[in-house]
Amino acid sequence: MAPPAQCLDTVTGATGQNGTVPVIGHTPEKKMQSPNLLDADEFRRQGHQVIDFIAEYYGGMGDYPVHPSVTPGFLRNRLPSEAPSRPEPDAFSSALKDVRDIILPGMTHWQSPRHFAHFPASSSTVGALREALTAGINVVPFTWAASPAAAELEMVVVDWLGKALHLPESLLFAGGGGGTILGTSCEAILCTLVAARDRKLAEIGESRICDLVVYCSDQTHFAFRKAARIAGIKRDHCRAIHTCHGDMFALSPTELQAAMQADVDAGLVPLFLCATIGTTQTTAVDPIGELCAVTAPHGVWVHVDAAYAGSALVCPEFTYVIDGVEAVDSFSMNAHKWLLTNNDCCAMWVKKPSALVAALGTEQEYILKDAASEGHDVVDYKDWNMTLTRRFRALKMWLVLRCYGIQGLRDHIRSHVRMAEAFEEMVRADERFEVVTDRTFALVCFRLRPQDKFGGEKTANDLNRGLLEEVNAVTSGPYMSAANVGGMFMLRCAVGSTLTEEHHVDDAWKVVQDRASVILRKMEIIYTSK
């Protein structure tokens, strides 16, 4: 990583001591040559290196611990404090070596087949190669004129995807709505919230912004509360409605109705509801149709966050979870979570694109205009989101849909669901354990049962915390995470890595059982000696 001891003076060809450029009396009458930073031959050579590197990485994924055993500062202490002033010989190869030897050992390997801790950040060869293709083309499609094909491909792709997910026509361009591709669901929530805010303030007056109230459940992702703060909603006007185990932690329409009515009686204005299909902790499913019936009399904007579980809608057997979706104002899902599309790719659809444009649109400067678009109803995607500069994500989604097809995506989702079902069955077959929440998709939430002889519910959470620590301490994996919902600490096994196979799930369960046996033996000793 260290810069070379001597560097060539790009003007005279002379070298200075320790890489310094010598002082010279005059500059020769010679035109300075800029390096060719887009040299096709060099790109081809380096490109082969990268493809080989990634292929070897995936091929050897099983040799990496899923989660590294490192402490803060481990990497900063191994790298120079300053960037090199000149590139070292064959700097690219040297940098790749450092990625392999220094950086990868300190990574959590999200593509590991033994990664069960989080919802997937799914990968595919097509998704990864599209990233290279997009980076090479490197367009900035903020308006139709800035790159007509990019804008129109995005329109085509979001309608393709919306139909594949069985969304209502009212959310598609074909039905008067429309969609766009953003980075994450966090952006989608913020964009729709700002659109809802401005639409409501246009009705009641901008001076009443402090009267606006937004709603979610206590299981809604924290990104919603963050978006509400950014949008100017008072902190104490974000209602996180309590959920319970009896409803599998879904948002109760009755509780929502009571909260809204209380706010109306207090002179406040209900603005926005963020409902969730597949909450982060337990994949709870909020009852969309019933919630829309509650919000309709108040003119509330309903957004559905299906970041994780939206991908499952390609399978017809899961479409029941969005019953009533025809009544919502917007819908978003992360194709990069479970639909083979690689980070980052969030699709968002709205019933009335004009509301987005009214809130987020900008007056076009002359330089952004194009005579070819005059008189045509073109989409300028800069007016649909928070940024002007944006990535050509549509190309990635288009390639994934073309190369895998809807049926291929269904097979991908169903294989993970089957593996999760198998894990769930193994948990239920061991009387020491219980499945805490109903499994809907490919997440199993489970725990060691509370045992009276070990203190019952009072010690159950500590017992399961210890189990999670023991499981994740196994170097070869698996790597799991936890949820704490309704006062219950539970382990989460989320099946979703593209590389995961049945034997990885079987092995993960064997580790859980083995570690549980160790912990329960320790508890026996502790309580026997009391």
Band of pLDDT at residue 8, cut at 50, 70 and 90? very low
For residue 43, pLDDT beyond 50? yes
Q: Are 440 and 321 in contact (CB under 8 A)?
A: yes
pLDDT at residue 4, rounded to an integer: 34
For residue 14, pLDDT beyond 60? no
Q: Are 393 and 324 in contact (CB under 8 A)?
A: no
pLDDT at residue 252, rounded to an integer: 98
For residue 102, pLDDT beyond 80? yes
Domains of the chain: which residue ranges? 139-391, 406-529
Higher-pLDDT residue of 443 and 122 is 443
Q: What is the DSSP code string of 297-323?
A: GGT-EEEEE-TTGGGGGGSGGGGGGGT
CA angle (133 as vertex; 132, 139 as ends), nearest 5 = 110
Q: Give 68-92 pLDDT, tens digit per residue.
A: 988 899 999 999 989 999 988 889 9
Average pLDDT over residues 7-28: 41
For residue 240, pLDDT beyond 50? yes
What is the distance between the alpha carbons of residues 47 and 50, in angstroms, rounded to a whole number? Answer: 5
Locate tokens 């959470």: which residue?
461
Average pLDDT over residues 457-475: 93
pLDDT at residue 362, rounded to an integer: 83
Q: What is the mean pLDDT of the chain?
A: 89
Band of pLDDT at residue 190, cut at 50, 70 and 90? very high
Average pLDDT over residues 264-275: 98
For residue 346, pLDDT beyond 70? yes
Band of pLDDT at residue 21, cut at 50, 70 and 90? very low
- The CATH number of 406-529, from 1.20.120.530, 3.90.110.10, 3.40.50.850, 3.90.1150.10, is 3.90.1150.10
Band of pLDDT at residue 10, cut at 50, 70 and 90? very low
pLDDT at residue 368, rounded to an integer: 59
Average pLDDT over residues 161-167: 98
Q: Are 413 and 197 in contact (CB under 8 A)?
A: no
pLDDT at residue 23, rounded to an integer: 44
Q: Give 141-152 pLDDT, tens digit per residue.
A: 888 888 889 999
Band of pLDDT at residue 25, cut at 50, 70 and 90? very low
Q: Are 214 and 202 in contact (CB under 8 A)?
A: no
Sign, CA torsion 140/143/146/147 = positive
Q: Confirm whether 139-391 and 406-529 share one CATH topology.
A: no
pLDDT at residue 285, rounded to an integer: 98
pLDDT at residue 364, rounded to an integer: 64
For residue 157, pLDDT beyond 90? yes
Buried b (16+ CB within 10 A) or exposed e, 144-160: bbbbeebbebbbebbbb
Q: Are 200 and 208 in contact (CB under 8 A)?
A: no
Q: Are 185 and 307 in contact (CB under 8 A)?
A: yes
Band of pLDDT at residue 370, cut at 50, 70 and 90? low
What is the distance between the alpha carbons of residues 380 and 368, in angstroms, rounded to a whole number? Answer: 10
- The CATH number of 139-391, from 3.10.20.740, 1.10.10.10, 3.40.640.10, 3.40.605.10, is 3.40.640.10
pLDDT at residue 228, rounded to an integer: 96
Strands 212-217, 178-182: pairing kind: unpaired
Enter the tokens of residue 29. Answer: 């009458």
Non-local (6+) Cβ contacts of 331 within 8 A are 167, 171, 303, 304, 306, 310, 325, 348, 349
pLDDT at residue 62, rounded to an integer: 81
pLDDT at residue 142, rounded to an integer: 87
Query: Residue 479: phi, psi to the nearest 5?
Result: -115, 120
